[in-house]
Every structure is written in C-alpha cells, then in structure tokens.
Amino acid sequence: MIIHADMDAFYASVEIRERPELRDRPVAVGGSAEGRGVIAAASYAARQYGVRSAMPTSTALRRCPDLVLLPVHMSLYAGVSRQIQAIFARYTPLIEPLSLDEAFLDVRASERLFGPAAEIARRIKREVREELGLVVSTGVAPNKFLAKIASDLDKPDGFVEVAADGVQAFLDPLPVSRLWGVGRVTGAALQKRGIRTIADLRRQPAEMLRRQFGEHGQQLWRLAHGIDERPVVAEHEAKSISHETTFARDIADPDILRAVLLDLTEQVAWRLRRHGKRGRTVQLKLRFDDFRTVTRAHSLRDATDATQAIWQTVSQLLDRELAQGIPPLRLLGMGVSGFDEDADSGRQGDLFAGAAAESEAVDRIADDINARFGGKVLQRARGCHKGR
C-alpha cells in the first residue's frame, strides 16, 4: 500500500505553533499587499473567510480585514519538513516528497514489521502531533493517485483508507474534478456530455474518451478505473528534483505567478542541497487553461544548488513567456536536473568567485544553522530576489 501524507495548512500551522496566541485567529503567510504579494498558506480559520493560497494579499485582506499576515519563513518550514521526513523514514526508505509538506510513502515492504499500512499511517499521525505539534492528513490506498485523493477528502486531520477491493466504490461518487488533469475546460467538456461523477466517466467506452480528448482521454479512463502504476521514487535516486502547483482558479497575474514560482524555487533548491545534488538544467513547466502543457529549459555552464542562481534562470524563462502573452495558467512548475556525477567536485574552481559564491554561502550557512537549531533561526531576505 501507498500512504500519501499531507500537512494541514503547513506554513500557517508552523507559524501558529511558534505563537500559540494566534491559535484561534485567522492567520495567513504571504507577501504584503503593498508589495503586491500573494498568500502562500492560510489557516483553517482564515479559510472560513475565503482566504486561499495563491490569492493576492490585497484580496485576502478585503475578505478578512482581521487577517494576521505573517511573512514567509522558508528556512523555518524547511527545518520542520526535515523533522517530518525523519518520522516518515522510521517506517520506510521509499519516500517521495512532492513539496516540503507532502510525500508519498511506499510501505509495502514495511507492513510485516510495523503492521498494516493504515496502522503505520495512524502512528505517523500520532508522532507528528506529539513530537512536532502539527497535524498531518493521510490517505492509504493501493496506488499514488488514490492515496493522494484520499488524503485530501477528510482534511483537516484526515485519515482515509481505500482498500484494494473498495477502489470502485471509493471513486464512483466523486466529481470528475477530483481526477488529475480535469480543470475548468475539460470539466466543462465532460459536463456537456452528462459526465459529472467518476462513475459516469467509468461507464464511457475508452474509445470515445480517446477520440474526444486524445491521450489525455486515455489517461482519464485509466484514472476512472483506479489504475495508476507509477512507482514511488525515493528522492536520492531521482534524476531530477521538481515541484509544481495546480491552481484552484486559472491565474494570469504576473506578480502572483512570480511569487508562486519563487516559492517553488526555494523548495526545490532546499531539497537539492539536502541531498547534496547540484544540477545544470533548470526547467519551467506551464499548463494553460486549455490543458496545453509547455516546458522551457535553460542549461547553466556550472551545476548549482544555489537558490539565487536557479531563481535568476527560472524567472527569466517565465518572464520570456509572459512577454509573449500567454493564456491563464492552470499549473506552474519548475525543476532542476542534469546532476553532477560527483557533487563535491563542482564546488571547486570559479564557482566560488564573486556573487554566486556569496549567495551559495548564504544558503549553506542558513541550511546548516537551521539543521542544528531545528530551523527557526535564519531566513533568506526576500529583498535578494528582486531581480526581475
């Protein structure tokens, strides 16, 4: 079985843990309204006012004038993320993080030792709560796709198990929008054919879906039948490290897109450094509201794990696309690949020259101090990202 573990309102929950007096207040983490910032995370109290992530902070404050807005402390969250992953690692080495607060765990080989997957998930929930004072929602299912849906169904503090013989019964009543890749456009096209639930979709002939939606239609058919054969890939074996986010609503605002991209970049750079990996190729991924997906890549002369170098490259890739005029985005992602065989050898030579070396040194010192002190000491000044 696979477990998908996803922290509840992660950035906001970590901040509230640091300041218990905020417990019942609507709290959000994000950029300032004056700086045209966006919300990175909102507590459940804030969500009751309609505050959502990737929403302009000015809109959030209009919806909830009492909102407690806190700046993003990426290195704090990265430190806590490391502690969460250490709890996961008690039960399996097969951990595939999707972001700082979300991971797939393949526990098939662990069940003999620790009991059924559901029992492992319950232990993880308990340990995260008792040791870190945070809440994680879990989905337990025969594959990644089902586990991910399951972890989301009962948030916050969710626990949903999908038994191998209960897949159809689990999927059938859900709206098709629960499926990967069903956004506004595909959802509307399906609705026009009277397809609203996954059960409706499952009853369609595979051939019809393929004719109507191409390759994507085949994928939909497979998902509607609960089929997903992708393995859990442990990060240290991965050929690339990437992170992407799907928006609840399509987004065209360049400021929001840049803010989200910076958040993705910080997470990816942190994961590179954590695994001692340095990559040469920086990739940007865009999916438009019509479901077209494009990727853009740029290769650097020297492999890097520095937030600043990666951000410069990936933000230029985005700016180039924005300058051409692109449709609203449904998904934004970025990643780094082309890893150095021997990461340490790359640290010599001219990489240590000038500003790049300085920026790397900042990353390393911050990571190091945060690792030693549980991650609440240093944060990267947002100002150093102003290079647009």
Nearest-angstrom CA–CA distance, 54 and 246: 10
Minimum distance of Mg ion from residue 172's CB (angstroms) = 26
Minimum distance of Mg ion from residue 173's CB (angstroms) = 24
Stretch that binds Mg ion, among 4-12, 70-78, 106-114, 376-384 (CB under 5 A): 4-12
Cα 101 → chain centroid: 7
Which residue from 7, 60, 74, 378 is in contact with Mg ion, where contact means CB under 5 A? 7
Q: Given the complex with Mg ion, which of 136 and 162 has the nearer CB atom?
A: 136
Minimum distance of Mg ion from residue 215's CB (angstroms) = 29
Nearest-angstrom CA–CA distance, 164 and 378: 45
Nearest-angstrom CA–CA distance, 251 and 302: 33
Burial class (CB in 10 A: 0-12, 13-18, 19+), 223: buried
Q: Is residue 119 among the annotated active site residues? A: no
Q: Phi-psi category of 349—alpha, beta or left, where left has phi over 0 and alpha has psi -120 to 50? A: left
Q: Are 307 and 269 in contact (CB under 8 A)?
A: yes
The Cα-based distances of 62 to 9, 53, 65 in angstroms read 21, 15, 6
Which residue from 6, 161, 340, 360 is in contact with Mg ion, where contact means CB under 5 A? 6
Site for Mg ion in 113-152 (CB under 5 A): none
Q: Given the complex with Mg ion, which of 103 and 329 has the nearer CB atom?
A: 103
In sequence order, which residues have a C-beta less than 8 Å from that of residue 175 and are 6 or more positions away? 196, 197, 198
Structure tokens at 296: 């853009």
Q: Given the complex with Mg ion, which of 55 and 195 has the nearer CB atom?
A: 55
Nearest-angstrom CA–CA distance, 34 and 45: 23
Minimum distance of Mg ion from residue 263's CB (angstroms) = 13
**By rule CB under 5 A, what count of residues binds Mg ion?**
4
Site for Mg ion in 42-101 (CB under 5 A): 101
Q: Given the complex with Mg ion, which of 18 and 66 has the nearer CB atom?
A: 18
Say how many residues make up the chain: 388
Burial class (CB in 10 A: 0-12, 13-18, 19+), 108: middle
Minimum distance of Mg ion from residue 198's CB (angstroms) = 23
Q: Which residues pair with 97 in a beta bridge?
A: 103
Q: Given the complex with Mg ion, which of 98 and 117 has the nearer CB atom?
A: 98
Minimum distance of Mg ion from residue 8's CB (angstroms) = 6
Residue type, 216: H
Bridge-based pairing state of the strands 159-161 and 136-141:
parallel
Stretch that binds Mg ion, among 7-15, 296-304, 334-342, 346-354 (CB under 5 A): 7-15
Residues 15, 96, 102, 360: which is the catalytic one?
Answer: 102
In sequence order, which residues have a C-beta less than 8 Å from that of residue 102 and are 6 or more positions away? 4, 5, 6, 7
Q: Given the complex with Mg ion, which of 133 and 338 has the nearer CB atom?
A: 133
Q: Is 15 a residue that touches Mg ion (CB under 5 A)?
A: no
So which residues are the catalytic ones?
102
Give the residues lining the site for Mg ion (CB under 5 A): 6-7, 10, 101
